[in-house]
Amino acid sequence: MKLTILHLYPDLLNLYGDRGNIQCMAMRCRWRGIEAEVLECCSGDRPDFARADIVLLGGGSDREQQIVCSKLLEIRDDFHAYVEDGGTLLAVCGGYQLLGHYYDTAQGRIRGLSLVDLRTVQGSPRLISNVVLESDDFPYEIVGFENHGGRTFTGAESGLRPLGRVLYGYGNNGRDGMEGILYKNVIGTYLHGPLLPKNPHVCDRLLRTALERRYGAAELSPLDDRQERAANRAIVRRFLNR
Ligand code: GLN
């Protein structure tokens, strides 16, 4: 078995080392005897969604998002077809914002892909915090770090589920207590950097949905996650006293 991971625009969207998420996915495949291939699609290249099992769209500054926006709009139809066909996607922060209709900044509107019913508006101050989430979709807490000026709102009729409820931190907009979105096999989130190493349960969900789509079934053998679980627990204890 093999999974192909497509990293979109790592030359522009790689804030706080989002690339670590690729390494985590690849290693958790290889530890289970599943081959993992990583394709990097830089800003001059055309991505081949037909080959991809998992796509990562990372975070970026407002300036980088503005540059990447026109590139994304050129590939919008292929990207949309991939998502609607159940393609697995992890979109982080700046990449998450670009899944929606737009991101309004003081410098103007950055158009998004309209793959999901989201709108983002820049606000002040920046929302910077460690984060702890709980979610019925995951067996234990999701922990991470957020740093964004944008406030993201889901459309009233969108039917989008959040990635999790905020127990600590700000989340999508600092108001409604929700963080991220789940849509088909898409995870969108403001949680940056080593999201997946800190949350192997989130990584395995991405691997599972990708394997199911490619092979019709997913057998993920358990890994020894004692250290990852202990690190996750330590964050939960530190910020929630529980
Ligand atoms: N530029 C966006 C914001 O500040 C996203 C930043 C990021 O990816 N950290 O809201």
pLDDT tens digits for range 85-111 = 999 999 999 999 999 999 999 999 999
> What's the Cα-to-Cα distance from 71 to each of 42, 56, 74, 75, 216, rounded to whole Å?
10, 15, 5, 7, 32
For the annotated catalytic residues, the residue numbers are 93, 192
Residue 178 Cα to ligand 1 middle (Å): 17
In short, whether 147's Cβ falls inside 6 Å of ligand 1 is yes
For residue range 192-228, what is the model confidence (pLDDT) as tens digits? 988 999 999 999 999 999 999 999 988 899 999 999 9
Q: How far is the CA of 42 from the centre of ligand 1 (A)?
A: 20
Note the pLDDT tens digit of each residue in 56-84.
999 888 888 888 998 999 999 999 999 99
Q: Which two tokens stand for residue 92?
A: 């982080």
Please tell me the predicted confidence (pLDDT) of residue 215: 97
- Separation of 34 CA from ligand 1 center, angstroms? 33
Strand pairing class (54-57; 2-8): parallel
Q: 145 vs 151, 198, 225, CA distance in Å?
A: 16, 10, 21
- pLDDT tens digits, residue range 145-166? 999 999 999 988 888 999 999 9
Task: Give me the percent of the chain exceeding a pLDDT of 70.
Answer: 100
Indicate the top mutation candidate among 124, 148, 191 to test ligand 1's pocket, ranked by most ligand atoms within 8 A of CB.
148
Which has the minimum average pLDDT: 65-69, 126-130, 230-234? Answer: 65-69
Would you state the pLDDT for residue 61? 86
Q: Under a CB-based contact definition with an 8 Å cutoff, are residues 10 and 47 in contact?
A: no
Query: Reading across the β-sheet that carries 186-189, which strands appear in turn?
Result: 35-41, 2-8, 54-57, 88-92, 186-189, 181-183
Instruction: Please give the share of the chain, as a percent, with pLDDT higher than 90.
Output: 86
Angstrom distance (rounded) from CA 93 to CA 108: 18
pLDDT, position 242: 78
Residue 17 has pLDDT above 90, yes or no: no
| Strand ranges (E), the chain | 2-8, 35-41, 54-57, 88-92, 102-105, 108-111, 118-134, 142-154, 164-168, 178-179, 181-183, 186-189
- Assess whether pLDDT exceeds 90 at residue 18: no
Helix axes 62-74, 76-84, angle to 10 degrees: 80
The CA-CA-CA angle for residues 95, 234, 146, to 5°, reads 20
The pLDDT score that the predictor gives to residue 62 is 85
CB-neighbour burial class of residue 158 (10 A; exposed 0-12, middle 13-18, buried 19+): middle
